[in-house]
Amino acid sequence: MTTRPIIICASTLLVAAARTATSTLAKLLINQHWWTCSEIGGATIRTICFSGIIYLCSAANLAADDTASDRMFERLKGLAGEWEGSLEWSQGRTGSGKLKAIYSLTGAGSALVENLIMGTSDVPTMSTVYHLDGADLRMTHYCAVKNQPRLKASHIDESAGTIEFSFVDVTNATAANRGHVEGFVIQLLDPDHLNLKFTFGGDPRTSGVENITLRRV
């Protein structure tokens, strides 16, 4: 009795699973007769090989999903709750004040909603929705000037807890409200403290940087 079929079977499974990591692999190996190995163990070897396919595919899929975007989005989800803090304008605009923030999950945990509430009203002044788009971490900002810039994470520093977002496009921007968020940075200092920085552009009359510091209530 030879052990060569076992070696071929195992090595083929390992290489193919690492390259594809999809259910298509299982179908391919079943359609081909590499894994039957009838000469040396019949049903037992088929069971071992099939279990190996499932395990390797699952492991490869988990590894592929473990990106910086995934990990940082998981940390963002931990912001859920109520916060309070202050804001201050710089670089062309002046002003300061206090604000509240409420973070909540929606879409069965697939998106994080950030509502920033300024002044005495309970109505959010502006909101942002963070979510994954494949390997990308994205945000859509619903601004008080009634346009909606969309940005994508361009740099993630996990050790510093920082995500930098760059402008992609904007909807509902007109001549009257063409000023919009063109850059954004969020820094997770610790579980109870974070900083936000909105950079506004698109209109010299409203350009500036809004710095926000928040602490968990």
pTM, two decimal places = 0.72
What are 12-66's pLDDT values in tens digits? 433 344 444 444 444 443 344 434 444 445 555 455 444 555 454 454 454 456 9
Mean pLDDT of 87-108: 96
Out of 3-7, 112-116, 177-181, pick the least confident: 3-7
Specify the CATH number for the domain of residue 125. 2.40.128.20
| Domain endpoint, select from 42, 65, 88 | 65
Q: Tally Cβ neighbours within 10 Å of residue 73.
A: 20
Tell me which residue range forms the domain holding 19: 4-65
Closest by CA position to 160, among listed 62, 66, 68 = 68
Domain match, 131 and 33 both: no
| DSSP character at residue 165 | E
Question: For 189, phi and psi rounded to 5 degrees?
Answer: -70, -45
Mean pLDDT of 100-108: 98
Domain match, 30 and 96 both: no
Domain match, 95 and 185 both: yes
DSSP string, 8-29: HHHHHHHHHHHHH-SHHHHHHH
pLDDT of residue 119: 87
| Domain endpoint, select from 65, 80, 112 | 65
Domain match, 58 and 85 both: no
Mean pLDDT of 193-200: 98
pLDDT of residue 8: 34
Domain match, 59 and 78 both: no
Closest by CA position to 167, among listed 136, 142, 197, 138 = 138
CB contact burial 171-195 (16+ within 10 A = b; e otherwise): eebeeebebbbbbbbbbbeeeeebb
Domain match, 112 and 149 both: yes
| DSSP character at residue 174 | -
SS3 of 151, please?
strand
What are 133-162's pLDDT values in tens digits? 999 999 999 999 999 999 999 999 999 999
Q: Could you give the percent of the chain with pLDDT greater than 90? A: 65
Closest by CA position to 210, among listed 130, 115, 91 = 91
Domain match, 14 and 115 both: no
Domain match, 60 and 73 both: no
Domain count of the fold of the chain = 2
Are 104 and 80 in contact, with CB atoms under 8 Å apart?
Answer: yes
Domain match, 126 and 176 both: yes
Domain match, 109 and 209 both: yes
Mean pLDDT of 97-124: 96
